[in-house]
């Protein structure tokens, strides 16, 4: 015997179909009170409330459903619910913020940014500066490498009088541009910073120094070379480029950097140690000994004993019976008070002297003809040095001619500053222009596809579903594509076809699901009532050579589109083609049976007329 609950359910279902609506609402309200955890009751109640013109009451039910999905980790379902709410209340900020947070939790970065931008635009329009700044900060947290968001945030900080925060944001933005090697954008940014912060004359040096300190020397080298060309007497630049080449483990470039450094700063002991060590590391025994003869006394006086010991030990490995090397090592030990090591060396030194028949007890002198002073030490550095050499073109390097170009040009900086002085528009998800034209994302590399499928994609690109077409689907990975695909399916089930179309557009970047995403976009167009474009898309997907599943799927959706468009003959023809390939595909058999039943009721053959004795 049916329970009271079953009877109420049955009655509620009948009323939902036949009405009246208010009675159906009361029935479902009773069901919700009896089974509050059954979300389908709330969903039906919300739909009925919308139908009855009671959106606020429907919102309460939908929010309960959305919060339940979110709390249990069903973010895609929650997104679908709140997207429906957003359609009902398009200007509602709490809904947009909830959607942004849900998309962020599920890893849908582009969707999260789109929702945050919706809120940001609202705050900016109403001159709510602090709130707008807070949203920009959230957007930066979602996508820390988004150039345009950082630019907008830096400008917004400055406009709000937060100069320190603005300068920090500009600095981080500059570092990103340096890492990307975008010298043109960096030059514009540098000009803009000089305009906003005229007292920060060493901005570029600070950026390069930070990059080297953080271990990102590869991004800093070109900028350092450019600065050295214009300011070769800046000791800090030389120290930075030396440190950069150490990080990059490029000994040839490091050696030449030391050579140039000592041309301008001949008394710098660390550079002398570094240059000798470079020569020792490349097993240039004569060159290293020649420099040691010149520099050893001042290095010992400067207490560079550990460095000297390291150098002499490297040279000893090159030539273990070299008397000048052993004597140099002994002098270092004596200066450092390592007398045990001195005693151990003394025996070896005496043996070598006896073998070479050398009797002199004084310090041996290296023959002057054995070492030719390098050209870079000849004379003093000129007052106006010819500085094209800073590119280190005389050494075999890994830097190409293109990479060796300066990071920025000083000429035209004023014009660039004027360009940047104009209003800067954020570019997150729409095709708005910005002053510093930097793509939001680098173009993803997609495997080549058939021309016909590519043409379908271009066709869909031209079909606008909303004002402000989404731009950010080019660099999704497989997991992102799956999320967009699942969300597109959820939207489709809820009848949110514009949103579903957008998600399938983004999921289609995955070559493995491109075809099915194109089919579903055709379905979305059909369900929206755009039969002309739906048929155009689906018809372009029907072609020989497809897999059985793809062929039947495209023909089936095209058949339904033809039926909706009043083309019964083509509808039947497509169903017959599908049945010939797979009789059990979806409900094709039932549809064909229905067609044949209707035809039998209307068509009469000659045999049919015989029973009436009609001639």
461-470 pLDDT, tens digit each: 888 544 343 3
Span of 137-141, 331-335, 451-455, 496-500 with lowest mean pLDDT: 451-455
Per-residue pLDDT reduced to its tens digit, 356-376: 654 444 445 544 434 344 443
Are the folds of 267-379 and 451-610 the same? yes
Span of 16-30, 174-188, 330-344, 499-513 with lowest mean pLDDT: 174-188
pLDDT, residue 297, reads: 93
pLDDT, residue 365, reads: 53
What is the DSSP secondary structure assignment for residue 233, as one 8-state letter? T
- CATH number for the region 267-379 comes to 1.25.40
Q: Which range scores top for mean pLDDT: 183-192, 245-254, 426-435, 461-470?
A: 245-254
pLDDT, residue 596, reads: 77
pLDDT, residue 29, reads: 94
Q: What's the burial of 475, exposed, middle or buried (CB within 10 Å: 0-12/13-18/19+)?
A: middle
The fold adopted by the segment(s) 4-127 is: 1.25.40
Q: Architecture of domain 451-610 in CATH?
A: Alpha Horseshoe (1.25)
Confidence of residue 386 (pLDDT cuts 50, 70, 90): very low
Domain ranges of the chain: 4-127, 267-379, 451-610
The residues near 57 (Cβ < 8 Å, ≥ 6 apart) are 49
Question: Please, are residues 453 and 514 in contact by the beta-carbon 8 Å criterion?
Answer: yes
Dihedral over Cα of 450, 453, 459, 464: its sign: negative
pLDDT > 60? residue 300: yes
Number of other CB atoms surrounding residue 496 within 10 Å? 20
pLDDT > 70? residue 146: yes
pLDDT, residue 479, reads: 59
pLDDT, residue 75, reads: 92
Per-residue pLDDT reduced to its tens digit, 410-420: 333 334 333 33
Inter-helix orientation angle 514-527/531-541, to 10°: 160
pLDDT, residue 288, reads: 92
pLDDT, residue 356, reads: 65
pLDDT, residue 352, reads: 82
Average pLDDT, the chain: 80
Of 201 and 217, the structure prediction assigns the larger pLDDT to 217
Q: What is the mean predicted confidence (pLDDT) over 485-502?
A: 88
d(CA 161, CA 156): 9
pLDDT > 60? residue 302: yes
Confidence of residue 484 (pLDDT cuts 50, 70, 90): confident
Confidence of residue 149 (pLDDT cuts 50, 70, 90): very high
Q: Which two tokens stand for residue 173?
A: 């933005």
pLDDT, residue 255, reads: 94
Q: Which two tokens stand for residue 97?
A: 């913020």
pLDDT, residue 464, reads: 57
What is the DSSP secondary structure assignment for residue 211, as one 8-state letter? H
Of 442 and 271, the structure prediction assigns the larger pLDDT to 271
């Amino acid at each position: 015997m049916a329970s009271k609950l079953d009877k109420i359910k049955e009655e509620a279902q009948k009323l939902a179909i036949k009405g009246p609506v208010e009675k159906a609402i009361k029935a479902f309200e009773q069901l919700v009170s009896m089974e509050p955890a059954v979300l389908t009751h709330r969903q039906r109640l919300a739909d009925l409330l919308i139908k009855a013109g009671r959106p606020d009451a429907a919102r309460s039910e939908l929010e309960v459903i959305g919060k339940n999905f979110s709390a249990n980790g069903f973010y895609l379902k929650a997104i679908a619910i709140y997207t429906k709410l957003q359609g009902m209340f398009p200007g509602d900020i709490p809904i947009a913020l909830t959607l942004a947070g849900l998309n962020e939790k599920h890893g849908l970065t582009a969707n999260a940014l789109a929702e945050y931008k919706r809120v940001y635009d609202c705050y900016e329009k109403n001159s709510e500066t602090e709130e707008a700044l807070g949203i920009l900060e959230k957007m930066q947290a979602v996508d820390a490498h988004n150039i345009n968001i950082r630019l907008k945030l830096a400008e917004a900080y400055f406009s709000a009088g937060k100069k320190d925060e603005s300068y920090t944001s500009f600095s981080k933005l500059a570092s990103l541009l340096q890492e990307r090697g975008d010298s043109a954008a960096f030059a514009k940014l540098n000009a803009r910073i000089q305009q906003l912060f005229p007292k920060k004359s060493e901005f570029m040096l600070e950026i390069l120094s930070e990059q080297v300190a953080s271990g990102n020397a590869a991004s800093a080298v070109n900028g350092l070379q450019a600065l050295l060309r214009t300011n070769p007497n800046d000791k800090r630049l030389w120290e930075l480029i030396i440190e950069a080449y150490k990080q990059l483990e490029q000994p040839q470039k490091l050696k030449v950097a030391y050579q140039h450094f000592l041309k301008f700063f001949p008394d710098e002991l660390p550079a002398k140690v570094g240059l000798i060590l470079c020569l020792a590391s490349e097993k240039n025994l004569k060159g290293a000994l020649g420099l040691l003869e010149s520099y050893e006394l001042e290095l010992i006086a400067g207490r560079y004993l550990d460095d000297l010991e390291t150098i002499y030990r490297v040279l000893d490995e090159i030539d273990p019976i070299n008397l000048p090397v052993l004597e140099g090592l002994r002098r270092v030990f004596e200066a450092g008070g390592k007398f045990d090591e001195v005693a151990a060396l003394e025996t070896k030194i005496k043996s070598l002297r006896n073998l070479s028949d050398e009797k002199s007890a004084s310090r041996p002198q290296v023959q002057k003809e054995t070492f030719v002073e390098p050209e870079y030490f000849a004379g003093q550095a000129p007052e106006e040095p010819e500085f094209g050499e800073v590119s280190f073109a005389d050494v075999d390097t890994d830097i190409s001619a293109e990479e060796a170009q300066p990071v920025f040009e000083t000429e035209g900086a004023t014009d660039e500053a004027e360009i940047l002085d104009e209003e800067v528009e954020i570019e997150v998800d729409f095709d708005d222009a910005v002053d510093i034209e930097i793509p939001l994302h680098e173009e993803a590399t997609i495997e080549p596809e058939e021309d016909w499928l590519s043409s379908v994609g271009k066709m869909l690109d031209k079909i606008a579903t909303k004002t402000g077409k989404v731009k950010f689907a080019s660099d999704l990975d497989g997991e992102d594509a799956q999320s967009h695909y699942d969300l597109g399916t959820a939207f489709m089930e809820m009848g949110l076809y514009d949103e579903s179309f957008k998600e399938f557009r983004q999921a289609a970047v995955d070559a493995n699901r491109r075809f099915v995403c194109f089919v579903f976009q055709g379905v979305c167009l059909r369900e929206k009532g755009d039969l002309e474009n739906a048929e155009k898309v689906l018809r372009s997907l029907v072609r020989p050579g497809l897999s059985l599943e793809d062929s039947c799927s495209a023909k089936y959706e095209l058949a339904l589109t033809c039926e909706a468009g009043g083309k019964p003959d083509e509808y039947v023809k497509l169903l017959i083609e599908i049945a010939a390939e797979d009789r059990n595909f979806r409900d094709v058999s039932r549809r064909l049976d229905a067609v044949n039943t209707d035809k039998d009721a209307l068509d009469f053959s000659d045999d049919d007329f015989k029973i009436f004795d009609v001639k």
